[in-house]
Each structure stands twice: as structure tokens, then as C-alpha cells.
Structure 1
Amino acid sequence: MLIFKEAMTEFFNHCRFEKNLSAKTLKFYTIDLLQFSAFLERQGFPSVVAAIDKTHLKDYLRELSGWKPKTIKRKVATLKALFNYLEFEDHIVANPLRKLRIKIKEPALLPKALNAAESNDLLKKVYAALLPEDKNKYGYLEALRNIVVIELLFSTGARVSEIANLRRSALDLQSGTVTIHGKGGKQRMIQLCNPDALFTLDTYCTLFAGRIAANGGYLLVNRLGNKLSDQSIRILVGNLAEMAKIGKKVTPHVLRHTFATLLLENDVDIKYIQSLLGHSSIMTTQIYTQVNLEKQKKILAEKHPRMRFAMAMQ
């Protein structure tokens, strides 16, 4: 009889070596399954996987009820993946989650984005920190690297993990293209058209060539010469936004939303935006059609027929 902890180990090996899942996915699987394992032990429920049934899962869902809907969904999805695997491998007769009707509603939150003026303020601030007289100091190199981070996020709309894992070989400065490795091993190529961004990237690649080569080819480098992590990029972006006096919390994901929203505002077809963002479904991208109230106001003020109907009372 297979006990739950043995099932976890077998499942992780399957995910790592057969499905080749990302380190991030494996991390969340580990967190979620360890939490469920601890729940089974705490409640004195069976540790044998074949004995785990819908009553145990219902109790677990009650325990999770205080978490955010998105987190609950993820934890349930992790359990589904595990039990589907166990069923396929004949360790259990059927996935017990199929006997539950689980409906978790997430609030429809619109993504936050910077407007054009705020985006300009952020770019101005990061470029203003690049003082030519400091070229021989690390402060200059750090300021240059910060510009590259913002330019890449703003110019490509890439996810923070995609930028952190970007290698020098993915950047072709001759053609002005960057190849992004996205979710599920999918690749997309994005054109970098802005002369300032291209010049900065070229300067950065020249000055950081030795550091990039030493860390295995990762483009973005920290003070110690290692790859810049996702979290470091989040902190960096937040600090730079505060310095630019932008009155809202700014994250790499906000810059991704900004990329999409400003393109839509400039009448770019949503299908192109879907391709640039690396969304597998157009439904994911369509949320941006609800975002920009300024654009909505402009359209209605200029195009709505009611604006042509003048009334006598003024």
C-alpha cells in the first residue's frame, strides 16, 4: 500500500523527469502537497492514498476557505494533478476529487497599469541616474543595468521570470530582436524598435560582457556577478517607481499590463497583443479591453451620437 509521502516523491519524479515542469511549478506543488500531508497527519486521517476519500477532501477545503480564491484554486489543482497521476498509475481506483463539485469564484480584478505620463516619468528617472562622470564606478554600471531592466519590461511586456532568465544569446542587437522563452516552453520573438533602448542594451552588453560570460550567459547580473533573481527585479522596479514619485505600487507585472494597455490605447489589434504577451488564449488578453477608462472617455466624447444632439438648456 502506497502512503501519501511515498506518492509525493513518485509524483515529483514524474513531474521533474517525465513532464519536465518548471522549477516554479515544482516549488508550488511541493508547498501545496506538504500542506495537505500535514493536514492529514494533524487530523489523524489515513496516510494510505487509496484510503483518502471525498470526506477528507471536504474537510481540507473547509480549512482552506480563509485563503484567497486564486490560492485555493491552485492548491486544488495541485491535488487534482497528483490524484490523476495516482489513478493513471493504478495506485488508486479513481480520483476522489471527481466526486466533489467544487466551485471557487475569483473576483474579476482589472489589471493595474501606468498611463503614458507615468511611464514617461519612470523612464526619465532611470535614465537621469546614469551619470557619465561615474563610468568607472559600480554605481554607473548598476544604473545602466536598471535602465536595461525597465526597458526590457516596458518594451517587451514580458513576465518577470522571462526577463530574469533571459540569456545574452536571446538578444540580437543587429536585428533588434529578443527571443522570450515563455510558459510551457513556448518561444516568441519581439522586435525592439526604440533607438534609446537598443543603444542602452548595446552599451550594457559591452560593459557587462565579462560578467555575463562568468555567470553562464544570463543577461541581467547583480552586484555579486550572479543572475538577477525574480524577487530582486520586483524590488528594483518598486524602488525605481518610488524614486520617480509614481503614486501607485509598481511591479514588473504592472509594466506588463502597461505594455498591453498602451498598445490597445493606440489601436493595436488585440490578436497582435495576444501574440506579444505569449497568451495561449485570446480570452486572457481580452481583459485589457475593459481597462483604459481614459480611452473609453475619448471614444465616447468624440464618437457617441449623443454628443451631436444639442439641447436648448445650457
Structure 2
Amino acid sequence: MSHSSSDSPVNNSLHPSIAAFLDYLRYEKQHSPHTLSAYQRDLARVMQQASASDIQGWATITEKQLKQWLGLWHEEGLSSRSLQRLISSLRRFYHYLLTRGEVTNNPAQRLRAPKTGRPLPVTLDADQVNHLLDDPHGQAEGDPLKCRDLAILELFYSSGLRLAELAALNLDSFSNGFSQVKVLGKRSKERMIPVGSKARQAIQHWLTFREQLVRGESGRALFLSKLGRRISTRQIQNRIREFAREAGMPVGVHPHMLRHSFASHLLESSGDLRSIQELLGHSDISTTQIYTHLDFQHLATVYDKAHPRAKKKDD
């Protein structure tokens, strides 16, 4: 029987190793707060189950026990995707314990979760992007904040940045007349990305308004809030959603949708998956390969419309 955190005491002897592991990820590996939170949730679940099973230390947990727990959690409704992430967290945690000599084997090494199909990213097509960025209602004219929002949208689509990467940009992140931007990505990996002409124009336009918002605490942040502070990721999400709504977009628009659109449209035009991997800052090309499925969908649609033997004839 599974036990929830509300009805089972936690064995405190299991907790210090998790705390040390999270500190290792935070300070030595420099993982993001979001990633740390995911590890913490996964390991807390395992610790709770171990405590309920009266297990006294990480070294005594077996592969068989972990398989039983995975089955319980699956029956309780934990998705295959969540179970896969939990197994990954466990493997990494036990690898850390091995290096510290706290355990002699990794019981999570051979665990497998039920396979699940990975959903394809949601993208905008080229016409939708143009409708959004061409500012059909002149939202950005004379309005500093709308001008800023348009520059943010252009930069997302031009360079495929992550939300946190864009929010962290400074004026000195750019070089060669704003034609290149240096980005600090996941795990503090730097990469240089080209910036398209439309995005450069939008940024230069925003800079003519930026001085109106500069305060003592503004620093060198590229994008500022109306209070003169660096704009937050939450503000960026809200402003993009509102900008898209006012532009009459038929779908909700968010930063990652623009990143996906950037990658998908670039792949359609170039077919160069390796270069797109570099631009996106993916450490593993298998992450980038998801866009080949989108590209195939596009090609299949073109084929169905254009190939003489693909067209359905009326009976």
C-alpha cells in the first residue's frame, strides 16, 4: 500500500543525503531553480515511500523495491512521463551517492517506465508570425511598453531564445551593431546567436524609449518594466499573451511557442539540424530531432496537396 506525505512520518536519516545532493546541483552544477524543484519533488516522493516501508538508509533500497513503488505510483495515476523523470532523478542521485561512497550500487540503473509518446511542440505558421509581428494595429507606435513588447517578440522569433535567457539580456550582451547576441544558457553555457534585421530594428526603436524608464536600479538590463526594473519572466509571458490577443491572434501565444516556431521554420528552409541544435543550445541532438517530426508533417501536407497521385478524386 502506498502512503502519502500527510499520513506517514519521514525517516530523517534519509534526508541529509538529498539536501547535500541538491546543494551539489545548485552550487557546483548551477542547475536552475526549476530543475532543482523537480529533483526535490521526485526524491521526496521516494524518501516518503522508503520511510513508510521502514527503510533506514539509501544503501538498503533494492531494485525490486523501486519497481514495486513505481507500480504503486503508476496505479495512483502518476503519468509515464513523470515516472520517467523520477527514474532519471533517482539514477542521478544514486550516481552521486556512489561517488561519495554512501552506497555500493545503483538500484535505479536498470529501471524502465512505460513508454509514452512525446507530444509535438505547438508552433505558429509563417503567416501567423507575420500577422503578429507586422503589428497590424500599430500597437507599438508611440507606446514605450508596446514598443518593448514588439522588440521582445521579434527577438524571440529571430534568435530562438529561452524565456530566462531573454529576460537576462543586458545592453552589452550584443555586438556588431546588435547583429549578434551572447546568451548564457542552461548550465551556464554561452553561445553566440545571430539577430535578424527586423529584430535589430525593433530593438533600436525600443532603445529610443528605454531612457524614459531608466532608474538607478535599472543597471544594464535591455528590457525594463514600467518601474524601471529588469522585466521578469512572468511579465514577459503576460505581455506577450496580451499583445497577441490585441493583434487578433486565434491562438494563445507564449515565449516557447516562438522558440519552437523559430526552430521549425529554420529547419524547413535549411534542413540543417546540427546548426539548429547549436542555435537552440541543446546539449543533445535528440532533443532537437523533435523538429524533424514537425518538418515531416509540413512536407506531408505539401505532398498531399501537390502530388497528382495523392489527391483524392470524387467518386
Shorter-chain TM-score tier: 0.7 to 0.9
1:46 corresponds to? 55
Q: Per-residue displacement from partner, 1:199-248 (whole Å, max 9, x unpaired)?
A: 32123235335638724433233334333333332333233333333323
Find the aligned partners of 2:65 and 2:232 in 1 and give their Cα distance.
38
Deviation at 1:102, TM superposition (A): 1.3
**Alignment partner of 2:183: what SS?**
strand
Task: Provide closer, same or farther for how the CA distance between residues 206 and 128 of structure 1 changes in structure 2, counting only shifts above 3 A.
Answer: closer
Displacement of 1:175: 5.0
Q: What amino acid sits opposite 2:71 in the alignment? A: R
CA 1:33–1:229 in structure 2 vs 1: closer, same or farther (change >3 Å)? farther
- 8 Å CA contact retained: 1:212, 1:218: no
Change in 2 beyond 3 A, CA 1:220/1:60: farther
Contact 1:145-1:204 at 8 Å conserved across structures: yes
CA distance in 2, matches of 1:212, 1:272: 39
Alignment partner, residue 100 of structure 2 = 89
The root-mean-square deviation of aligned C-alpha atoms, in Å, is 3.1
Structure 1 residue corresponding to 2:115, chosen from 90, 105, 112: 105
Residues 58-115 of structure 1, C-alpha deviations (whole Å, 9 max, x = no match): 34313432233332222221122111111221112212213x5313312132222111
Q: 1:247 and 1:142 mapped to 2: Cα distance?
A: 23
Structure 1 pair 295–4 and aligned structure 2 pair: CA distance change class (3 A):
same
Displacement of 1:198: 1.5
* TM alignment of 1:104-183, pairs within 5 A: 104-125=114-135, 128-132=138-142, 140-172=143-175, 174-183=177-186
Kept in 2, the 8 Å contact 1:126–1:143? The answer is no
2:91 and 2:108 in contact (8 A); partners too: yes
CA distance in structure 2 between the partners assigned to 1:206 and 1:109 by the alignment: 41
Which residue identity does 1:162 align to in structure 2? E
Query: Aligned AA for 2:206?
Result: Y
What whole-Å deviation, never above 9, does each CA across 1:247-296 have from its counterpart, x for those lacking one? 23322111111112222333453333222222334333333233244444
Question: Are residues 262 and 212 of structure 1, via their aligned partners in 2, closer, same or farther at CA, if it must alter by over 3 Å?
Answer: farther
TM-score (norm 2): 0.81
| Structure 2 unmatched runs, 5+ | 1-10
SS at match of 2:191: strand
Q: Which moved more, 1:84-93 or 1:180-189?
A: 180-189
| Structure with greater helix percent | 1
1:23 aligns with 2:33: yes
Aligned identity (percent) is: 28
Cα distance in 2 between the residues matched to 1:201 and 1:68: 42
Number of aligned residue pairs: 299
Counterpart in the other structure of 2:210: 208
Give the structure-1-normalised TM-score.
0.81
CA offsets, 1:176-217, max 9 Å, x none?
1111222233222122232x4223212323533563872443
The yes-or-no answer on 1:69 pairing with 2:83 is no
Unpaired runs of at least 5, structure 1:
133-139
1:254 counterpart residue number: 257
Amino acid in structure 1 at the alignment position of 2:151: V
1:28 is paired with a residue whose SS is: helix
Q: 1:77 to 1:232 in 2, by over 3 A?
A: farther
Q: Tell whether the 8 Å contact from 1:125 to 1:243 is kept in structure 2 after alignment.
A: no
Q: Do residues 283 (structure 1) and 286 (structure 2) align?
A: yes
Q: What one-letter code is carried by the residue in structure 2 that aligns with 1:124? A: D
